[in-house]
Amino acid sequence: MTASGDTEFNQPGAPPTEGDEPTWATPDYTMGFGEEMMETFRRNTAEASAAYLLPYLRPGLRVLDFGCGPGTISVGLARAVAPGELHGVDMEASQIDLARSVALAGGLDNATFHVADVTDMPFEDGYFDVAHCHSVLMHIPDTAAVLAEVNRVLKPGGIIGCREMICESCFTYPDYGVIGRAWEMFEDLVAADDGHPQMGKQLKRHLEDAGFTHVQTSATFDDYATPRDVAFISEVVDKWFLAPEVTEAAIKYGAATEALCNQIRAAYNRWRVDSSAWCGLAFGEAVAGKP
């Protein structure tokens, strides 16, 4: 704590000093968990997807990864705080099974995973130094309920780090006059599940409303431009986004028509062999402290 009583934490890029005491540090999920979505998760490592948070981590801290999915980011966070503890929470048992396997394969004995709900977590008050999530708040209807629960399990002086999509700032080039409609369809699907497709740029407001202070923001893109990246995105669109489960939901919610889905499929077939193909996924990032 500073003399004024404000919570103090380091700026991004300036790792905490060694020796400091650790004081900080779905039924609504239409998207499913197909193989292409799993490849997306596997590309999400702590180094790639939580770079904004890593400077705040150091050995000995206790970290909560809420909505951890298959644990690919969790294991990087666990390495950063070992021998401290990493606890991952997800409501999908299949994801927790995967997360345990990922941690075992990585030889990590400080990572533990639980099947639990992020709005009703099974941890005592004030246990964690750091809480993290990636692309989680955008899918949960009651943002305030999640952040209140995270606030409860964080220590005073603890920090929260979130990275969430800003769907309206994502781009696919060339667009062929169609692919932008696919992004709109994705936004409508997230919104139809009472999610928040622009959560990335709303983080500062939500964190401040939940009582967190000293909000540090940043914004980054996940960039897909190499032939391998373009092939990967094309597969995600073909096998997941345009899979029957998703398109049927989109048509049911009025977010798309069968004709539009066919146009999007044809546009991506052009895109995957276009040498200028490039896709950027936009994210807002925020780190904030619990007073």
- 97 binds another protein, rule: CB under 8 A: yes
- Pick 122 or 141: Cβ nearer another protein: 122
The answer to whether residue 112 forms part of the interface with another protein (CB under 8 A) is yes
Q: Which is nearer to another protein, 114 or 265 (CB)?
A: 114
3-class DSSP state for residue 176?
Answer: coil
| Binders of another protein in range 225-244 (CB under 8 A) | 244
Does 124 bind another protein (CB under 8 A)? Our answer is yes
Min separation Cβ 127 and another protein, Å: 6
- The Cβ-side half-sphere exposure at 26, using a 13 Å CA radius, reads 25
- With respect to another protein, which residue has the nearer C-beta, 113 or 186? 113
62 close to 85: Cβ distance less than 8 angstroms: yes
Instruction: Specify the residue, 88 or 284, whose C-beta has the smaller distance to another protein.
Output: 88
With beta carbons less than 8 A apart as the criterion, state whether 275 and 226 touch.
Answer: no
Strand 63-66 versus strand 278-289 pairing type: unpaired
Q: Tell which one of 43, 45, 60, 127 touches another protein (CB under 8 A).
A: 127
- DSSP track, 50-66: STTTGGG--TT--EEEE
**Of 281, 197, 199, which is closest to residue 237 (Cα–Cα)?**
281
User: How far apart are the C-alpha atoms of 148 and 55, rounded to whole Å?
Assistant: 25
Pairwise CA distance, residues 241 & 32, whole Å = 10
The stretch near another protein (CB under 8 A) out of 3-11, 123-131, 134-142, 225-233 is 123-131
Name which position in 6, 245, 258, 274 contacts another protein (CB under 8 A): 245
Q: Does 120 bind another protein (CB under 8 A)?
A: yes
Of 17-36, binders to another protein (CB under 8 A) are 26-27
Which of 120, 119, 102 has the alpha carbon at shortest distance from 111? 102
| CA–CA gap between residue 216 and residue 224 (Å, rounded) | 26
Output 143 or 172, the one with its CB closest to another protein. Answer: 143
Which class for 134: exposed (0-12), middle (13-18), buried (19 or more C-beta within 10 A)?
buried
Q: How far is the CB of 123 from another protein (least distance, A)?
A: 6
- Is residue 100 within the footprint of another protein (CB under 8 A)? yes
Taking CB under 8 A as the criterion, the residue among 51, 54, 116, 215 binding another protein is 116
121 sits near another protein (criterion: CB under 8 A):
yes
Residues of this chain, 38-57, that bind another protein according to CB under 8 A? none
Strand partners, 282: 221
Name the residues that contact another protein, by CB under 8 A.
26-27, 91, 93, 96-97, 100, 109, 112-117, 120-125, 127, 244-245
